[in-house]
Amino acid sequence: MTLQITREGRVVIRTPLRTSDIEINRFFESRRAWIARKLSGREMREELAVKPRDYNAGEEFFYLGDAYPLEISEASGARQALILSHGKFVLAREKLPQAKEVFVKWYRERAREVLEERVRFWSNRFGLTPSGITITGSWQRYGSCSPINRLSFSWRLLMAPYPVIDYIIAHELAHIREKNHSIKFWTYLESLMPGYKTQKLWLRENSHLLRL
């Protein structure tokens, strides 16, 4: 029997055919302490952050906070290289050599739609108007605000839940008024979005999930 912790933090046990539940449970219990250390420690987060994607069937990819397994489609000449349908990502087999590029393109296109809509919503609500929006591929900064109030957001945000996306948007909109990270800025951000610290903590603890 073998045990694996996936990129998403799920425990997977692979066993020979006809292995009894008793044997599986005994094996799991023998590894429980190791699993707990891996899942709770910084070591696990660091491993997941650098572990490359395999783009194999069953591997999970996040979209708006939910995980969707990957299915490889055998249909040739598919109209779309990648779709999200019926609770799974479906990738054309002929596109496997370019799988990462295909996923990046898919996320980037959705990012433009989703982020522009959310910026428009919060901009109207807060009375803060950016001069424009740029979608980037940054993995170090999920958002930024330029001196001329142009907002930039990483397409990787599309892997995060909506509340986290909204926190980043509110954060950058707040910079239109407060251009630094002073106490005044954080006080102002809290007035715009009370409870933002919950989303900030989620991002700190789960940033390893927002990578390809």
Give residue-wise pLDDT tens across range 152-185: 999 999 999 999 999 999 999 999 999 999 999 9
* Dihedrals phi, psi of 194, to nearest 5 degrees: -60, 140
8 Å CB contact between 71 and 84: no
3-state DSSP assignment of residue 17 = coil
> Does the pTM exceed 0.85?
no
Distance CA 175, CA 80 (A): 38
Tokens 């998403």 found at:
8
Distance in Å from the first CA to the final CA of the chain: 29
Answer yes or no: is pLDDT of 38 > 70. no
CATH architecture label of 103-209: 2-Layer Sandwich (3.30)
| Domain assignments of the chain as residue spans, ordered by start | 2-50, 60-95, 103-209
Residue 115: band (very low, low, confident or very high) from pLDDT cuts 50, 70, 90: very high
Query: Tell me, what's the pLDDT at 37?
Result: 66
Residues 6+ apart with CB under 8 A from 69: 57, 58, 59, 60, 88, 89
pLDDT tens, 77-106? 667 889 999 999 999 999 999 999 999 999
